[in-house]
C-alpha cells in the first residue's frame, strides 16, 4: 500500500501545471503536449484574413505510425453548432425562417407541446429553457436514438416531443445540445434535404473545406481516431464511428486548415455563403439574456474574441477569432480530458494564445481535481481493506449485535450513510456536472468506473458487516 500511495503522490507532482511558455506555437506544443497525453494535435492560424501557419504533431491513433497533418479531419464537437446556426441564417435570408416564430410553425412534432412556443432565436441563443442536463441526457438505446439511417435526426427530434423545457422559454440562458438538434431538423424540413447533404452543399463546398465531412454514421479512414481517458492513459475508440443524430450539435468532421478557411469566411466582411450582416449578428451577443453568446458562437466583448470549444467522445477542439483584427486560430486534439490528469485545456488555450498574441496564465493548479480523482480510486480499496478487517475481527463485529442500542447503531448506521453517499456519487454529482452517469461513461470511462466502484463498494462493505454480525456463532468470551 505504501508503494501505491507513493506512486500516486509522484503522479500528482508530475502532473502539476507549469506556466505556459511565451513564444512560437511549436514551442508551446513541445511543452504542453506531453502533459495532455493526446496522441495528436493539429492547428492552423489566420493573420490579416489569410492562413499564415498550419502544423501538426503526433499520430492519428496511439501505437500507430500514421502521422497527423493539418489536413487530417478531426471531430470538431460543438464548433459544429456554428455551422447549424449558419445554415439557419441562410434560411432566414431566403425568407423561409422568421427568427421570432415558434418552432411549432415549422416542425409539426412540437404542435401543442410545451416546447412548441420556443422561438428560433431562443434555440440559437440557448435561451429556450432547455437545460444542459437535458441536452446531455442519454435517452437509452431506443430505436429513436439509433444513429444510422437518413432519418436519424427526424427520429431523435420526434422523441423530444414530450420533453418540456426545464425553465420557461425566454427567461434564462443555459447551454443545451437539444437546441441545436432541433435546429438541425429545422434545416432538414425547410431545405428538403438531410442535414448532411445541406451543410455539405451549402457550406463545406462553397468554403472549400475539401478535407471535411458531416457525421453520417459511417467510419472514415482519413479521420483521426478519438481517445478517451483511462487512468493516466488514453485508449482509442473502437470503430471510431460518427453519429448522424448528433451532427447538428457536434458532428462536423474537419481538418485544421479547413476550419481556418471557415474562420476566414466568418471574418471577411463579405456577402458570400451568407451575408456580412448575418455573420455580424451571429458573432454579437444575442440579447440581454445572452450577453456572452450569439448564434452558434461564444462572444467576449471585453477582449473582442469570438470562440467555441468542442468536446466529443475522444476529441476536443477550440476555434477562436478576433474579427476586428482578422486573426483566428483553431486547435484540434484526438484525446479527451481526464479529471486533473491528462487534461487538454492548457494545450489548446496555450497554442491559441501563442498564435493570436494573447496573454495566458495557464489553467492554474489542478490539484483539487487530481485529489478528487485519486480519492475516488482509493475509497474502494479502503472499503475492501475494511471488509478484510471485519472478517478477521468477526467476533467483535458479532458482539455489536448484542450490545444494545449503541451496538445496533454502529452496525446499521453505516448502511444508511453509504447508501446516501452512493446516491450522491452516482446520481447527484453527475447532475451537478450537467451529464448523467451514462454520458460520463462515454466521455470519461475511467471517472464513471471510479464513481460506480466507490458507490458499490461502500454499500457492499456496510452489508458485509451486517452479514458477519448476524451469521455464525458469536465468539466465546
Catalytic residue annotation? 78
- Chain-centroid distance, C-alpha 416: 34
CA 445 to chain centre: 13
Could you tell me the three cell numbers for 268?
A: 471577411
440/424 Cα distance (integer angstroms): 15
Nearest alpha-carbon partner for 189 in 297, 294, 104: 104
* Contact indicator for 352, 345 with CB cutoff of 8 Å: no
End-to-end CA, the chain: 34
C-alpha cell at 327: 486573426
In sequence order, the 6+-apart residues with CB closer than 8 A to the CB of 364 are 17
Whole-number Å distance between alpha carbons of 230 and 236: 10
Return the C-alpha cell found at 430: 453527475
- 294 near 306, Cβ under 8 Å? yes
Alpha-carbon distances of 303 from 78, 169, 293, 300, 306, rounded to whole Å: 22, 30, 14, 6, 9
Under 8 Å between Cβ of 310 and 316: yes
Q: Going by DSSP bridges, is the β-strand pair 315-322/252-254 parallel, antiparallel, or unpaired?
A: unpaired
Residues 273 and 89: their CA atoms lie apart, in Å, by 10
Cell of 65: 505510425
E strand segments, 181-280: 213-214, 227-230, 233-236, 252-254
Amino acid at each position: 500500500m505504501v508503494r501505491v500511495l507513493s506512486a500516486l503522490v509522484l503522479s500528482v507532482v508530475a502532473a502539476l501545471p507549469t506556466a505556459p511558455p511565451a513564444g512560437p506555437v511549436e514551442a508551446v506544443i513541445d511543452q504542453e503536449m506531453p502533459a495532455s497525453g493526446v496522441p495528436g494535435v493539429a492547428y492552423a492560424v489566420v493573420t490579416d484574413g489569410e492562413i499564415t501557419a498550419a502544423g501538426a504533431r503526433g499520430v492519428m491513433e496511439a501505437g500507430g505510425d500514421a502521422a497527423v497533418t493539418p489536413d487530417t479531419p478531426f471531430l470538431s464537437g460543438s464548433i459544429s453548432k456554428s455551422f447549424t446556426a449558419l445554415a439557419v441564417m441562410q434560411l432566414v435570408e431566403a425568407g423561409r425562417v422568421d427568427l421570432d416564430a415558434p418552432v411549432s410553425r415549422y416542425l409539426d412534432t412540437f404542435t401543442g407541446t410545451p416546447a412548441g412556443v420556443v422561438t428560433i432565436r431562443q434555440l440559437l441563443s440557448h435561451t429556450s429553457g432547455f437545460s444542459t442536463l437535458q441536452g446531455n441526457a442519454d435517452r437509452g438505446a431506443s430505436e429513436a436514438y439509433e444513429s444510422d439511417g437518413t432519418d436519424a435526426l427526424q427520429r431523435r427530434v420526434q422523441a423530444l416531443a414530450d420533453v418540456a423545457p426545464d425553465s420557461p422559454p425566454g427567461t434564462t440562458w443555459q447551454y443545451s445540445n437539444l437546441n441545436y438538434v432541433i435546429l438541425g431538423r429545422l434545416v432538414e424540413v425547410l431545405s428538403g434535404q438531410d442535414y448532411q447533404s445541406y451543410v455539405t452543399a451549402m457550406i463545406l463546398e462553397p468554403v472549400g473545406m475539401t478535407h471535411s465531412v458531416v457525421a453520417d454514421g459511417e467510419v472514415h479512414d482519413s479521420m483521426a481516431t478519438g481517445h478517451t481517458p483511462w487512468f493516466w492513459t488514453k485508449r482509442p475508440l473502437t470503430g471510431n464511428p460518427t453519429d448522424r443524430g448528433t451532427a447538428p450539435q457536434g458532428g462536423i468532421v474537419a481538418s485544421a486548415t479547413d476550419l481556418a478557411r471557415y474562420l476566414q469566411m466568418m471574418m471577411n466582411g463579405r456577402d458570400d455563403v451568407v451575408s456580412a450582416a448575418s455573420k455580424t449578428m451571429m458573432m454579437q451577443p444575442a440579447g440581454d439574456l445572452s450577453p456572452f453568446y450569439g448564434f452558434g458562437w461564444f462572444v467576449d466583448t471585453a477582449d473582442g474574441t469570438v470562440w467555441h470549444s468542442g468536446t466529443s467522445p475522444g476529441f476536443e477542439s477550440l476555434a477562436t477569432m478576433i474579427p476586428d483584427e482578422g486573426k483566428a486560430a483553431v486547435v484540434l486534439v484526438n484525446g479527451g480530458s481526464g479529471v486533473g490528469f491528462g487534461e487538454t485545456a492548457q494545450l489548446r488555450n496555450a497554442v491559441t494564445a501563442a498564435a493570436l498574441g494573447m496573454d495566458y496564465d495557464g489553467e492554474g493548479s489542478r490539484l483539487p481535481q487530481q485529489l478528487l480523482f485519486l480519492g475516488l480510486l482509493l475509497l474502494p480499496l479502503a472499503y475492501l481493506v475494511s471488509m478484510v478487517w471485519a472478517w478477521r475481527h468477526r467476533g467483535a463485529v458479532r458482539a455489536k449485535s448484542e450490545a444494545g442500542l449503541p451496538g445496533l447503531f454502529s452496525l446499521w448506521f453505516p448502511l444508511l450513510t453509504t447508501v446516501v453517499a452512493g446516491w450522491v456519487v452516482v446520481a447527484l454529482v453527475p447532475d451537478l456536472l450537467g451529464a448523467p452517469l451514462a454520458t460520463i461513461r462515454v466521455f470519461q470511462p475511467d471517472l464513471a468506473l471510479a464513481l460506480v466502484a466507490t458507490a458499490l463498494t461502500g454499500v457492499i462493505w456496510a452489508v458485509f458487516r451486517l452479514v458477519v454480525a448476524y451469521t455464525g456463532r458469536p465468539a466465546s468470551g
